[in-house]
């Protein structure tokens, strides 16, 4: 089974900061890595699919990059409404989520 290691677990940043969250797969997952945002009390929402494709309606400050085993979600300019927990998901072989990154505003 493919394991996903997500870092950091917790992140505090200021409005306007550039923020990066990482996921590392235990083996090559090609491009099949997605990013989700989950606000308190809500269902997860798809942000980025297949490494770098922005899902419909998602602001352009969100972007994804990477390949193979190492992937990154970047928020170019952090906004107050971005406070949430972020999860990665690999779907190259089965479906495995990362453990999550809780993002707060400093």
Partner 1 sequence: EVQLVESGGGLVQPGRSLKLSCLASGFTFSNYGMNWIRQAPGKGLEWVASISSSSSYIYYADTVKGRFTISRDNAKNTLYLQMTSLRSEDTALYYCARRLPGAFAYWGQGTLVTVSS
From candidates 11, 21, 23, 32, binder to partner 1 by CB under 8 A: 32
Q: Site size for partner 1, by CB under 8 A?
A: 21
Q: Which residue is listed with tokens 């996903």?
A: 4
User: Applying CB under 8 A, does 49 fall inside the site for partner 1?
Assistant: yes
Is residue 65 within 8 A of residue 72, CB to CB? The reply is yes
Contact stretch for partner 1 (CB under 8 A) within 11-19, 28-36, 62-70, 72-80: 28-36
User: Applying CB under 8 A, does 43 fall inside the site for partner 1?
Assistant: yes
Question: For residue 32, what are the contacts with CB-CB under 8 A and spacing of at least 6?
Answer: 50, 51, 90, 91, 92
Q: Given the complex with partner 1, which of 44 and 72 has the nearer CB atom?
A: 44
Smallest distance, partner 1 to C-beta of residue 42, A: 8
Q: Where are the beta strands (DSSP E) in the chain?
A: 4-7, 10-13, 19-25, 33-38, 45-49, 53-54, 62-67, 70-75, 84-90, 96-97, 101-105
From candidates 36, 62, 71, 86, binder to partner 1 by CB under 8 A: 36
Q: In the structure encoding, which two tokens stand for residue 49, read together?
A: 């699919």
Contact stretch for partner 1 (CB under 8 A) within 21-29, 62-70, 71-79, 91-99: 91-99
């Amino acid at each position: 089974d493919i394991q996903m290691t997500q870092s950091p677990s917790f992140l505090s940043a200021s409005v306007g900061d550039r923020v990066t969250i990482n996921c590392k797969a235990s083996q090559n997952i090609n491009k099949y890595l997605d990013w989700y945002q989950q606000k308190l009390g809500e269902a997860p929402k798809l942000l980025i699919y297949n490494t770098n494709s922005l899902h419909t309606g998602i602001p352009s400050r969100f972007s994804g990059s990477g390949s193979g085993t190492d992937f990154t979600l970047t928020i170019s300019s952090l906004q107050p409404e971005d406070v949430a927990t972020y999860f990665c998901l690999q779907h190259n072989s089965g479906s495995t989520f990362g453990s999550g990154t809780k993002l707060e505003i400093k």
